[in-house]
Amino acid sequence: MKRHPTHDRLARSPIHLLHRAGQCAEDLFHAEIKDRELTPRQLAVLVTVARTEGLSQTGLVARTGIDRSTLADIVRRMQRKGLLQRRRTKEDARAYAVRLTEEGRRALRKAEPVAKRVDARILDALPVRQRGQFIDELLAIVAAFEKPDPAVR
């Protein structure tokens, strides 16, 4: 059977493979979280807000890498679910400071062990000696293309 050139190109394409790996990770996360109340991006927001209470939405964009309009939508949905609260900052009346609610803290406590299990399952696909290198290489890719945002707060 003759190999198709498009398949060969996709099989070695970093864009395609990173996308597929992301899909696999999301599928694993959703299978583990069961109630599907949180997405991996929402978890990233919860983790980031928990580490830096009162961070602005601009700061969340900088720390999570989620684009501004998507993050604004995520924050609004999480606020409606009672996981986050937003308040105008004293420094800039146009900016919102984001904080976890008690419900948000409970959701984070529930989701963190799930995320750790999913991380472990993903890394289990690699030989033990390659796992640290894999993480380092992903970090290098992100660092090489990440746009620094001077307005982190």
DSSP per-residue letters across 68-101: HHHHHHHHHHHHHTTSEEEEE-SS-TT-EEEEE-
What average pLDDT does this structure show over 48-65? 92
Contact 72, 87 (CB under 8 A): no
Q: What is the pLDDT of residue 91?
A: 73
Which DSSP letter does residue 12 get? T
In a domain, 29, yes or no: no
Q: What is the pLDDT of residue 152?
A: 44
CA distances from 63 to 44, 90, 103, 114, 118 (A): 9, 21, 22, 22, 21
Residue 17 within any structural domain of the chain = no
Is residue 105 a part of any domain in this protein?
yes
pTM: 0.84
Instruction: Tell whether 27 is covered by a domain.
Output: no
pLDDT at 149: 55
In a domain, 13, yes or no: no
**Residue 35 clears pLDDT 80, i.e. is over it:** no
Q: What CATH number is given to the structural domain containing 87?
A: 1.10.10.10
**From CA 62, how far away is CA 73, in angstroms rounded?**
16
Tokens 């990440």 identify what position?
146
What pLDDT shows up at residue 146? 84
- Helices 40-51 and 14-33, packing angle to 10 deg: 80
- The overall average pLDDT reported for the chain is 89
Q: Is residue 74 part of a domain?
A: yes
In a domain, 44, yes or no: yes
pLDDT reading at 92 higher than 50: yes
Higher pLDDT, 123 or 56: 123
Residue 129 resides in a domain = yes
Residue 36 has pLDDT above 90, yes or no: no
| Residue 7 predicted with pLDDT over 80 | no
Look at the chain and report how many structural domains it folds into.
1
Q: State which residues form the domain around 80.
A: 39-145
